[in-house]
Structure 1
Amino acid sequence: MSRGRRRAGGERPPPHSGRAQANLAALAAALFALATVTVLGVAAANGALVGEFRDSGDRHAATAVADRIVADASPVTNRSNVVDRGALASLDAATLRSYYPILDGRSFRVTVDGRAVAAAGTPRGGTTRRRVVLVERRRNETVTPSFSGPNRVTLPRRTPWVELDIDAPDNVSVSGVRANERTVLRDPDGLDGQYTVSVSRMETVQFTFVANSTLDRGDVTLAFAPSNTTKARLGVTVDG
């Protein structure tokens, strides 16, 4: 017969049970904290990845449009890196999107020396690409030369084309016209009327009129379109 005594209220808890329960609670808290940190880290990584993809898309779009808008085949350039002032003035967001579909669904802004010439949405960040350009403006001019000696006249400005109006008297025949050393018009029976000829815009042009007599003022009129160019910085900002 056992001589042990029972304590009122049941059996005594096994040794170290309280410590084990505390350790389990601490482990659970640690695991919860670790899971929370992991979730937050994954969320942050995903957010950074999405942001990187968005930034990469903005960079690609801004670079592509900036390169194409100053190219020789651009609708706003007269030649590579020379933009037409009039074409820039008529530029708008719809026109840009029609030429560059990569801008669809994006906010963007095109500027010249910081002044917006076309925009869609409100880009607040995104990526900006800049290109140095010449802004070209052409203005029609007319020259009515007074010939003395050789029938020659040098235009004061460079131009890509010249319109000649030849109206010599009946006793004077103009059989040919040379631009510098190149013959641009020729008619042994005599030139009479208006003619448009292309000339090099890279050099000043001198016209020589081959005639059987010295020409007088009013016998020839030349209309042309010299250009004025100013250096500017064109910017393309794209914000996805």
Structure 2
Amino acid sequence: MRGQTNLFALVVALVLLTGATVVGVSLADAALAGADREPIERHAAAATADRLTAADSPVTTRANVLNASRVAALNASRLRELAPTAGAGDVRVALDDRTVVEWGAPGGGWTVRRSVVVRSRAEPRLIRANLSRRSTVTVPGGVGRATVTLDPGPNTTLRSVRANDRVVLHDGGGLNTTATVHLDRYEPTTLRVDAGANATGRVAVTYRPRIVDDRVLTVTVDA
């Protein structure tokens, strides 16, 4: 009787040992598989983020400065062309919490974050001035160009327009035109029409202000 009890105990111990071994091997295999995937995911996520924020990237105006309209046009096929390593698995590209591009269903994987600036343009703004009252119009900083329309009144000759201290339009015979002028985008610009004390007429300036937002770009690759 005692021998049967010992035999039964031995069988139970062997079963438990076998089960524990199988579970241990399975966990080890899973850990090794995860370790194998991690460098691939990390490399793919970092390479994709670097490509999207590079100075020569099609979606940037300079390094780490994203053009909002170009980012909005980004899709999965375009991203694969720009960053082939993104095809290593399921991918999500997001700005803050808003997904920009996604394929598959990345539920884990490796995530890389980059601090970026996103630039966009607001609706055009128009400033008009009556030359009999004032001859200057100020455009805020961040604007690289503006459209100037000059409409001189009777017996008035407008020969030049200055942007701060720089002449951007000039005609000795008189200006009566609409033209685009380039401005210094790093500081406010005062456009001044050279007109006499008794000048009449109108000047109109149209420009698009730039909107600059600080964001976090995240790239997740789940292989």
The answer, yes or no, to whether TM exceeds 0.5 is yes
**TM class by smaller structure:** 0.7 to 0.9
Matched, 1:88 2:71: yes
Q: Which protein has the bigger strand share?
A: 2
Matched, 1:70 2:53: yes
**Is the contact made by 1:151 and 1:214 (CA closer than 8 Å) also made in structure 2?**
no
**Is the contact made by 2:129 and 2:135 (CA closer than 8 Å) also made in structure 1?**
no
Give 2:86's aligned residue: 103
Give 2:209's aligned residue: 226
- Tell me the secondary structure at the aligned position of residue 186 of structure 2: coil
Give me the whole-angstrom Cα distance separating, in 2, the residues matched to 1:169 and 1:148. Answer: 9
Give 1:16's aligned residue: none
Matched, 1:129 2:112: yes
Picking from 129, 145, 168, the partner of 1:184 is 168
1:231 and 1:138, CA in 2 relative to 1: closer, same or farther beyond 3 A? same
**Is the contact made by 2:118 and 2:215 (CA closer than 8 Å) also made in structure 1?**
yes
Give me the whole-angstrom Cα distance separating, in 2, the residues matched to 1:122 and 1:216. Answer: 65
Structure 2: which 5+ residue stretches go unaligned? Answer: 1-17
Picking from 186, 191, 198, the partner of 1:202 is 186
Q: TM-score, normalized by length of structure 1?
A: 0.72
Give me the whole-angstrom Cα distance separating, in 2, the residues matched to 1:171 and 1:105. Answer: 71
1:195-237 per-residue CA deviation (whole Å, 9 max, x = no partner) reads: 11221221111011123455546x2111101112222211111
**Is the contact made by 2:92 and 2:219 (CA closer than 8 Å) also made in structure 1?**
yes
Picking from 147, 170, 174, the partner of 2:158 is 174
Q: How many percent of aligned residue pairs carry the same amino acid?
A: 35
Matched, 1:79 2:79: no
Matched, 1:113 2:96: yes
Shift of 1:47: 6.9
Task: In structure 1, give the amino acid aligned to 2:191.
Answer: F
1:82-131 per-residue CA deviation (whole Å, 9 max, x = no partner) reads: 32333332221111112222223532101111221111111122211111
Displaced runs of 4+ in structure 1, greater than 6 A? none
- Tell me the secondary structure at the aligned position of residue 123 of structure 1: coil
Number of aligned positions between the proteins? 201
Picking from 59, 73, 80, the partner of 2:42 is 59
Give me the whole-angstrom Cα distance separating, in 2, the residues matched to 1:74 and 1:146. Answer: 44
1:173 and 1:148, CA in 2 relative to 1: closer, same or farther beyond 3 A? closer
Give 2:145's aligned residue: 161
The structure having more radius of gyration, on CA atoms, is 1
**Is the contact made by 2:183 and 2:189 (CA closer than 8 Å) also made in structure 1?**
yes
Backbone CA RMSD of aligned residues: 2.9
1:7-56 per-residue CA deviation (whole Å, 9 max, x = no partner) reads: xxxxxxxxxxxxxxxxxxxxxxxxxx9xx99xx69x958972x6444321
Matched, 1:193 2:173: no
Give me the whole-angstrom Cα distance separating, in 2, the residues matched to 1:215 and 1:61. Answer: 64
Give 1:146's aligned residue: 130
Structure 1: which 5+ residue stretches go unaligned? Answer: 1-32
- Tell me the secondary structure at the aligned position of residue 187 of structure 2: coil
Shift of 1:161: 0.9
1:191 and 1:80, CA in 2 relative to 1: closer, same or farther beyond 3 A? farther
Task: In structure 2, give the amino acid aligned to 1:106.
Answer: G
Q: TM-score, normalized by length of structure 2?
A: 0.77
